[in-house]
A and B are shown apart, each in its own frame.
Chain A
Amino acid sequence: EAQVTQNPRYLITVTGKKLTVTCSQNMNHEYMSWYRQDPGLGLRQIYYSMNVEVTDKGDVPEGYKVSRKEKRNFPLILESPSPNQTSLYFCASSLKLGIYEQYFGPGTRLTVT
């Protein structure tokens, strides 16, 4: 089944404790992206990747890191999480840009206390 998977689905952590949210797609998509969703703000892009070893900042990259060592994986790293990073996170992928559909993962609910 073609899909985007994220782990974990739920995470409660404390301020400053490094964490990684994994994202994997099995559709051989070139383009991958991370978004965060906050009430009243919709989804905002954090980072994106056009292909292996090619990543760039989105609209809200502060406090996040990413890497794209393999085509299928695009982990999101929070080196020192803070309470303002409490949010719902989505990973997405698409074959290409333009009219191509972005396929979203199931989301990761992160709470930083």
Chain B
Amino acid sequence: AQTVTQSQPEMSVQEAETVTLSCTYDTSESDYYLFWYKQPPSRQMILVIRQEAYKQQNATENRFSVNFQKAAKSFSLKISDSQLGDAAMYFCAYRRGGASGSRLTFGEGTQLTVNP
């Protein structure tokens, strides 16, 4: 079974600084997808960024980028120029490819605090 591990329950960063959240996963599949979701205090789940495993190029979305290391099964999220609005719980998630990819498997989450 696939597992997703976020080893940092809590992280903090100063406003305008850069922070990296870690995520590792375990799979024997070659076709899969990885996601980072953000959950602010409103509880709404918001997609931050996504990556297809077959793509070597790391995904970027404005201030958010990933470091995808397929061999190491690592998928870290880098937030540049951190803003107060980035404070949230961040979840890493995995999905198998193809018709069998019916579920998102989530990590435990990392609570990010942004200090002014």
Residues of chain A having any CB pair with chain B under 8 Å: 31, 33, 35, 40-45, 48, 50, 56, 58-59, 88, 90, 92, 97-99, 101-102, 104, 106-107
Contact = CB atoms under 8 A, between A and B. Distances in A.
A33 B106 CA distance: 14
Contact of A42 (B43, B91, B95, B103): B91
Contacts of A106: 42-44
A40 B102 CA distance: 23
A44 B106 contact: yes
Interface of B: 4, 6, 9, 33, 42-45, 47, 50, 52, 91, 93, 95, 97-99, 101-109
Given A97-B95, A98-B33, A45 B103 contact: yes
Contacts of B107: 42
A41 B107 CA distance: 7
Contact of A88 (B43, B91, B102, B106): B43
Contacts of A48: 102-103
B102 A43 contact: no
Contacts of B33: 98-99
24 contacts: A31-B102, A33-B102, A35-B104, A40-B9, A40-B108, A42-B106, A42-B107, A44-B106, A45-B104, A48-B102, A48-B103, A50-B102, A56-B102, A59-B103, A90-B45, A97-B99, A97-B101, A98-B97, A98-B98, A98-B101, A102-B104, A106-B43, A107-B43, A107-B44
Given A40-B108, A42-B109, A97-B95, A104 B103 contact: no
Nearest to A99: B33
A41 B44 CA distance: 17
Contact of A58 (B52, B99, B103, B109): B103
Given A33-B104, A42-B4, A90-B45, 14 more contacts: A31-B102, A33-B102, A35-B104, A40-B9, A42-B106, A45-B104, A45-B105, A48-B103, A56-B102, A99-B52, A104-B44, A104-B45, A106-B42, A107-B44
